[in-house]
Structure formats: C-alpha cells, structure tokens
Amino acid sequence: MIKAQFKKKEFKFKRPSGTSRGVLTIKHAWFIEVWNEKNPSIKGLGECSIIPGLSPDFESFKQYEEKLSQVCENIHQDLNNFPSIKFGIESALLDLKNGGKQIYFTNDFSLGNKQIDINGLVWMGDVSFMQAQVKEKLSQGFTTIKMKIGAIDFDNEISILKGIRTNHSVEEITLRVDANGAFTKDDALNKLNRLNELGIHSIEQPIKAGQWDLMAKLCKTTPIPIALDEELIGVNDLSQKIELLEKITPQYIILKPSLHGGISGTREWIELAETRSIPWWITSALESNVGLKTICELCAEYDNPLPQGLGTGSLYTNNIKSDLHVSNGRIFLH
C-alpha cells in the first residue's frame, strides 16, 4: 500500500521577476512524499509547482490543498485536469521506484555524463534592467538568449534586441522572444515583420491562447517561426491535442510538465509533435531544484539538439540544495 503526504514551501525570488502574470516575488510549491507501508524508510519526492493566473489547476490555496489531501488519500485517481499535481505524483512515484535517491530517470544526465544546452532568460522590466540582464547572460557564456517582450514599449524592446544583434551575428547568438500573448489581431503581423529584421529564431505565443483560426493563419504567414506555449494549457484529451496541432500547424511547441499534463502528458505531446515533424523543447515553470532536476532528466530521455528552457535554478534565495550546475549555457549534474 502506497502512502503519501505533502508539505508547502515558499521560495523567495532574489529579485522581483516580471512575467505576463505580473511581478513575482514569491513562488509557491508543495512537495509530495510517497512511500510503501512495508518499507517506510524509502521515500519518493515530487514537486507540485504553480503560477497563479497561469496554472489551470490552481484556483486558491484552500482549493489546491484540498485536492492535494484527496490525492494523498488516493494517488491513483485521474489527474488530467491537475497537471501540476500530476507532475508531482508522477515524479514521486518514479523516485520511489528508483530507491528514493531523487533519481527520476536513469540516463546519461542523471549519471552525470551529459550536459544539456539551455537558453539564458531575460525577464521583463525597464530598459536598463533588461539590458543589464542581456549583458550578464552573454558574459556567462550563453549562446541562446530568450527575452520576454510585451511589457514595455515595443520600440524599446526592438532597440534592446538590436543592441544584441549589432554586436553578435545570428551565427554567434540565437535570439528567442516570448510575447506571452501580448500581440493583437491588428498588430501581430507588423510586429513579427519588424522582429524578423533582427534574425529572431522563434517567438513564443504571439497572441492570446484560444484563437485557433487566427493562430493558424499567423503560423502560415509569419516570417518568424511560432512556438505554442500557453495554447497547449488545458488541452488534455488526445483527440483535442491532435486537432490543435493539425489545425494550427505551429513551427514549434514548448512544453512545461507542470502545465501540460505532467510527465506522461508531456511525453504524449512530444510523440504527437514528432509524428507531425514539429520540433519541441521543454521549459521549467519556475520549479525549485527538485522539480527542475526531474525535468532535466526527462529532457535527457530524448535526443533533442535544441537548447531547453531549464536555467531557472538560480532564481531563489532559499532554493533547495542541489547538484545541478550551469556553466557556459549548459546545465549538468556535478
């Protein structure tokens, strides 16, 4: 008989982090432990991590913890509509299966033999703050930089990107941007054309999710490859996933296990995307080092040459101690 319990922890951002859901100063997470009654000394650990306003399974702390309590009573229930909890439970069970050593997948990454290329993330903020972050990421050896746009004046964002491109060619630095749905039906194509002049690799979610016809049209006419992110949230049914991919035909999809169906849901998206020759990459949803390690090991199950979005381990003042290490734009265990 498998038993389970959970405990909440708050992580404090080193500096307020601007997102499409406002400025974050605290990150809420719940850690699920599972064990077998016959051998209670070995426990599996998983992280349930949420972003208020973005996580589809989080309405309030009361509602979320009530659901966690139910799950601890019956961990085998259907959690398709609770991706962050599903991710935590799946992680904990994998850890338990592997002896409770916080090893979720046994592969070259978890054995310390593989490094994963990642992008350096530039948070939303005023011009000087964003420019300082760009400079920092370049000095740290990142060759792929992802910049969140849509929070300040578009001309200012263009000038920051121009500043990078003036000094670094497309061959030297890959630039990704994430609009988090900030563009409108009327200005999207014009903004995509302006970004295209700067050799942008891809843009995440240029318009708000749920506008399948408009997004399909944009993906057909865009000069820059479009990556779907928020668009995939809440799409859990297999037939619905197929319908979305075949209707919109995006250039890329981006997967966050805590938002897109846990580990199994993410694997399903990958299989469907690869069958349709749609490249993908995985991004953390600001998990602590526990969830981040799980996602890194999941990434390493695939031979994906694209840089992943896994450089979030240094965000918090009180992160959980970890063997994860980032150097020269790569993450690895040491």
CA atoms within 13 A of residue 16's CA, in its CB half-sphere: 7
Q: In angstroms, rounded to a whole number, what is the distance separating the alpha carbons of residues 56 and 80?
A: 11
Sign of the dihedral through C-alpha 88, 238, 235, 214: positive
Q: In angstroms, rounded to a whole number, what is the distance separating the alpha carbons of residues 249 and 227?
A: 10
Which of 86, 146, 256, 293 is labelled catalytic?
Answer: 256
Give the distance, in angstroms, between the CA of residue 331 and the centroid of all CA atoms in the same chain: 15
Closest listed residue to residue 137, CA positions, set 311, 290, 285, 300: 311
User: Which amino acid is residue 189, in one-letter code?
Assistant: L
**Catalytic status, residue 162:** no
**Catalytic status, residue 148:** yes
> Tokens standing for 158?
């263009």
Which of 148, 191, 208, 293 is labelled catalytic?
Answer: 148
Q: In angstroms, rounded to a whole number, what is the distance separating the alpha carbons of residues 294 and 291?
A: 5
Sign of the dihedral through C-alpha 206, 232, 47, 305: negative
Helix segments in 38-118, DSSP class H: 61-73, 83-97
DSSP code per residue over 119-150: PEEE-B--HHHHHHHHHHHHHTT-SEEEEE-S
> Tokens standing for 140?
């740290």
Q: In angstroms, rounded to a whole number, what is the distance separating the alpha carbons of residues 93 and 4?
A: 10
Q: In angstroms, rounded to a whole number, what is the distance separating the alpha carbons of residues 155 and 159?
A: 6
Residues annotated as part of the active site: 148, 256
